[in-house]
Amino acid sequence: MEDMKKRVQLSGNEAVATALRQINPDVFPAFPITPSTEIPQYFSNYVANGLVDTEFIPVESEHSSMSAAVGASAAGARSLTATSSCGLALMWEELHVAASNRLPLALTLVCRALSGPININCDHSDSMGARDCGWLQIYAEDNQEAYDNMVQAYRISEHPDVRLPIMICQDGFITSHAVMDMELLPDKVVKDFVGEYEPERYLLNENGTMAIGPYAITDYYMEARRAQAQGILNAKKVILDVAREFEKISGRKYGLFEEYRMDDAEYAMVLIGSAAGTAKDAVDKMREAGKKVGLIKIRVFRPFPAEELAAALSKVKGIAIMDRSESFSSNGGPIGSELTQALYHARCKAFTVNYMYGLGGRDLQVIHVEEIFEELMALEAKGDPKDSVSYRYVGLRDIADPDHKQISYLCKPENSEQA
């Protein structure tokens, strides 16, 4: 029975905790924060029940949990921690330490809004805020993907061409606390797939000395940073190779992103995370009505699949780029900025509109997605969609309106006109 794949119903948090039980990492320091708390909670049960022989360290803050994970990884152990929101913010310093020391540790992140106002619900402010820390970032649409990504994590992170820490992200509450149908791989299959960690250099190796966290001034700092960038550049191929091998044990196919009904699509939506499931239902509905719409769900945000995305979007007329975090740049969100840059380099002719949605857990519904596609079509019909350059908010409530009706809101300075 143990050798068979098993259909189960688990929350996203329990799904990731189960993958970690199967991986049986060496060291897991953790500090609780909603909505990721359940992951170390489930895992500490596995430790107490002898299902894993991991060293589980309850620490006093997220600064410490990441520091301990970094220390363990430098010593030669396979380590990880879990967090959300402000917990990730408190790790900011160590995130850079982990990446610049080329330490292949993992972080299971359950995405949650940052303060303020204080909010426990999902958005991508935390992970997107850490997008330039040198970590790999992989996102999940549902519980199955959160589990599958966790199983693939160390193979990517520990690969000699990469050697970088990896963030496995899922949406707070929407997947972390929702039970859904999914399939678990047998313990042994996961164990064999992940393999033993055999670091080439590590602090506890008595036969080879090394420095961790050295000082480098103007003479070597730039060379070190350039060497670190190579790991990110190499990661794309490794991620795809690992995905191909994963398909052999699971039957499930993964890439840098997923294309959904894009073949003859004239309008496309690009987004990350659980909202992709909702948007797929909207795409199906509009396809039934004869509208040529499609969707791209980004799975890997770091490294950013710039050329590949531009190629996949080369034939569409209009693109809605969806961001679940406000970067306060006055120029749209992180996916909006990075994707439009990629499209520009590829001389892509499509117009883009960058939408902010789902901040602090605001629900994105099928109807919102349909409205966004209709808006793209209306802009195209107007003949000059370039006036869409600014970014917009989806499902924002008009606080001045007594019914608080939801509006699509164009973001521009107050001294210019609003759409």
Partner 1 sequence: MIEIRWHGRGGQGAKTAALLLAEVAFKIGKNAQGFPEYGPERMGAPITAYDRISDTPIRVHSNIYDPDYVVVVDESLIESIDVTAGLKEDGAIIVNTQRDKAEVEAEIRQKGYFGRVYTIDARHISIHTLGRYFPNSPMLAAVVKVSGFIDEDVFLENMEASYKHKFAKKPEVIEGNMEALRMALRELK
Q: What is the C-alpha to C-alpha distance for residues 4 and 141, in angstroms, rounded to an integer?
A: 25
| Interface stretch with partner 1, choices 166-174, 294-302, 309-317, 344-352 (CB under 8 A) | 166-174
Contact (Cβ atoms closer than 8 angstroms) between residue 70 and residue 202: no
Other beta carbons within 10 Å of 236: 17
CA neighbor of 108 nearest in space, from 64, 56, 71, 66: 66
If you search the block for the tokens 């679940």, which residue do you land on?
A: 324
Q: Does 59 bind partner 1 (CB under 8 A)?
A: no
Give the residue with the Cβ less far from partner 1, 180 or 203.
180
Give the residue with the Cβ less far from partner 1, 102 or 112.
112
- Which two tokens mark 75? 């010593």
- Cross-strand bridge partners of residue 168: 108, 138
Contact (Cβ atoms closer than 8 angstroms) between residue 70 and residue 98: yes
Q: Does 34 bind partner 1 (CB under 8 A)?
A: yes
Min separation Cβ 208 and partner 1, Å: 49
Min separation Cβ 189 and partner 1, Å: 23
**Which positions from 92 to 131 touch partner 1 by CB under 8 A, shown as an x/- string?**
----------------------------xx----------
Give the residue with the Cβ less far from partner 1, 74 or 364.
364
| Interface stretch with partner 1, choices 147-155, 167-175, 220-228, 288-296 (CB under 8 A) | 167-175
CA neighbor of 174 nearest in space, from 272, 32, 98, 275: 275
Min separation Cβ 316 and partner 1, Å: 22
Per DSSP, the residues of 210-223 read --SS----TTTHHH
> Which of residues 146, 150, 153, 275 is near partner 1 by CB under 8 A?
275
Q: Is it true that the peptide bond before 50 is cis, omega within 30 degrees of 0? A: no
Min separation Cβ 124 and partner 1, Å: 14
**Which positions from 339 to 378 touch partner 1 by CB under 8 A, shown as an x/- string?**
------------------------xxxx------------
Question: For 279-402, where are the E strands, in sequence order?
Answer: 293-298, 300-302, 318-323, 351-356, 391-397
Give the residue with the Cβ less far from partner 1, 172 or 318.
172
| Interface stretch with partner 1, choices 192-200, 221-229, 278-286, 377-385 (CB under 8 A) | 278-286
Burial 237-253 (b: 16+ CB within 10 A, else e): ebbbebbeebeeebeee
Give the residue with the Cβ less far from partner 1, 133 or 271.
271
Q: What is the β-pairing status of strands 6-11 and 179-184? A: antiparallel
User: What are the residues whose beta carbons fall under 8 Å from the beta carbon of 66, sequence distance 6 or more?
Assistant: 81, 83, 91, 94, 95, 98, 107
Give the residue with the Cβ less far from partner 1, 73 or 125.
125
With contacts defined by CB under 8 A, how many residues of the chain interact with partner 1?
24
> Which of residues 129, 186, 277, 360 is near partner 1 by CB under 8 A?
277
Other beta carbons within 10 Å of 285: 16
Q: What is the C-alpha to C-alpha distance for residues 356 and 310, in angstroms, rounded to an integer?
A: 21
DSSP H/E element including 108: strand 106-111
Min separation Cβ 321 and partner 1, Å: 19
> Which of residues 85, 108, 157, 274 is near partner 1 by CB under 8 A?
274
Q: What is the C-alpha to C-alpha distance for residues 60 and 71, in angstroms, rounded to an integer?
A: 16
Give the residue with the Cβ less far from partner 1, 275 or 298.
275
Residues 172-231 within binding reach of partner 1 (CB under 8 A): 173-175, 177-181
| Interface stretch with partner 1, choices 218-226, 272-280, 304-312, 321-329 (CB under 8 A) | 272-280
Min separation Cβ 262 and partner 1, Å: 17
Give the residue with the Cβ less far from partner 1, 174 or 339.
174
Q: Summarize as ranges the residues that interact with partner 1 (CB under 8 A).
A: 9, 34, 120-121, 142, 171, 173-175, 177-181, 274-275, 277-278, 280-281, 363-366
